[in-house]
Amino acid sequence: MSENYDVVVIGGGPGGYAAAIKAAQLGLKTACIDKYINKNGKPALGGTCANVGCIPSKALLDSTWKYHEAKEDFAVHGISAEGVSMDVPAMIKRKDDIVEKQTGGVAMLFQANGVTYLQGTGKLVAGKKVEFTPHEGDMQVLEAGSVVLATGSEPIQIPVAPLHEDIVVDNSGALEFTEVPKRLGVIGAGIIGLELGSVWNRLGSEVVILEAVDTFLPMVDKQVGKELLKSLKKQGMDIRLSTRVTGSEVKDGEVIVSFSDDEGDKNITVDKLIVAVGRRPYTEDLFTVDSGVNLDERGFIFVNQSCQTDVPGVYAIGDIVRGPALAHKATEEGVMVAEIIAGHHTQLNYDCIPSVVYTHPEVAWVGMNEEQAKAEGDDYKTGMFAFMANGRAVAANETTGFVKVVADSKTDRILGVHIVGPQASEITMQAVIAMEFGASVEDLQMMVFAHPGLSEVLHEAMLDVDGKAIHSAKRRKKRR
C-alpha cells in the first residue's frame, strides 16, 4: 500500500530541507527523503553544507584564524601571547560538535513543523511517483502531488589523482586531518581549495596550490582577484597558475605529484594532497528515463525560472540545476518552489545572489563585475575605496583590500559591488539589499552610515563613482 503526500522532497540539504519545512508551514503534507550517513554511521540532515561543506570548513577557518592572530597579530595590540599552540584533535572535535548541533537542529525543525523524515534513497519514476528505499527494509512507492528534486552535488574526481585513504583526499577528507601536514598539496585554486589551503597554511603547512587555468579566480572581478592573490601569497601560500597535474603516486606515506607548467614537466612531494577541482550535479539513480525529467547539455536538470522541470508538478533546485552552486541559492529556490506549489506567486532575483570566499581577507561580490560590463558593451562607471583609509579598519588592524562599485553611466543603477577585505561577506549584504530595491549610486551616496564602521568604505566607494569621496587624496575636478 502506497503512502500519499502533497509534497515529496528528495534530498535533505539546504535546498531540500528548506523546501520541506516551508511546504509544511503552508499546510501541505510533506515528506523529505535523505540518504546521508555521517562518519559515525548515523543518518544526518543538512547535506554537504552542514556535514562536510560550508559549516565545518568555516569552523576550521575561524579556529585557525584565531590561532594565527594570537601567534602573529596580538603584539600590535600590546598583547603578549607566548607559547601559543594548536591542539588539532580538539579543533576537529569542536568542528564535529558544531556539525552535530546544526544537523540535529534541522531534524528538530522537521519535527516541529510536521515534516516526515524518511531515511533512505528516493527515485522519481513515471507518473510522478517516488520509489523510497529505506536503509533497512523494502522499497515502497510514495504518491505525491508534487516532487522536489534536491540532491545537490558531489566532488569531481580526476583520474590523475585518485583518492587514497587519508593521504589523497577530497574536501571532506581535508576536514579530518588529525595533525598538521608538513607539506600539503592542493589541486585547484577555486573557493574550496583556497579555503582549505588557508586552514592548514595558518597551522604551519607548506601549502602548494596547483591550478590549471591561467587566471586566478576567473569569476571574480580582476582587481579583486589580484588583491586576494597578493595577500594569500604574502601569507605564505604557493599558488601556481597555468599548472596542469598529470599524475600522482602514493609511495611510503607520501604523494609524488607530477605536473607541467610553462617551464616543462616537474614534480613535487607532499604529505597530503587535496583534490578540489570543482563539483558536479549528483543525479545518479535519481529518476528513470520514463519519468519525463530531462538533463541539459552540461548534465544539469533542465528547469525554467520557477525551477519546474519538463514534468508538471516536478521541480528541481540547488546544485543540480543551472546557476551557481551556493547553499543560500538552493535555500531560496526551495522556499520559492514550496510557495509556488502552495499556490503563491513568487520569484527569485538571480541577479542579486551574493558569492563569498571565506579566506582572509574575505572576498564577496554581487552582480556584474567590470569585465562583464565591458564584455556586454555596457556604458558603465566605477568607484573604489580602500580599507586603509577607514578609521575602524585601521583601529582593528584590518586594512587590506577595498570596495569596488560598478554602475550604469546613464541610469546610475548599481550593477555590481565587489569587496576584498574585512567582513566582506557582511558588507556585501548591504549592496544586495540596495540592488534588490533598484537603488541608484546616488541613493547610497545620500545615506548616512554609522561612524566609525567598515561599511563606510562602501559609502565612500559609492561617492567615488562620481568623484565625490570625502576621505580620498585624489585630485578631482571642481564641481559647480
Q: Which of 77, 345, 451, 471 is flagged as catalytic?
A: 451
Spatial separation of the C-alpha atoms in residues 200 and 405, rounded to whole Å: 33
User: φ and ψ at 164, to 5 degrees?
Assistant: -145, 105
Distance CA 409, CA 16 (A): 41
* Nearest-angstrom CA–CA distance, 17 and 151: 11
Instruction: Give the span between the Cα atoms of 136 and 11, in whole angstroms.
Output: 18
Query: Which residues contact residue 395 at a Cβ distance below 8 angstroms, ignoring those fewer than 6 apart?
Result: 452
Q: Which three cell numbers stand for residue 97?
A: 560538535
Look at residue 275 and give its three-state secondary structure.
strand
Task: Specify the amino acid at residue 98.
Answer: I
First to last CA, the chain: 80
Could you give the C-alpha distances from 9 to 6, 121, 216, 304, 338, in angstroms and in order?
10, 11, 37, 18, 10
Q: Report the alpha-carbon distance of residue 67 to residue 64 in Å, rounded.
A: 5
**Per-residue buried b or exposed e for 67-85, using 16+ beta carbons within 10 Å of the residue's own CB:** bbbebeeeeeeeeeeeeee
**Is the bond preceding 361 in cis, omega lying within 30 degrees of 0?**
yes
Q: What distance in Å separates the CA atoms of residue 317 and residue 23, rounded to the nearest whole number?
A: 14
Does 345 participate in catalysis according to the annotation? no
Q: What angle do CA 198, 202, 205 make, to 5 degrees?
A: 90
* Residues belonging to the active site: 451
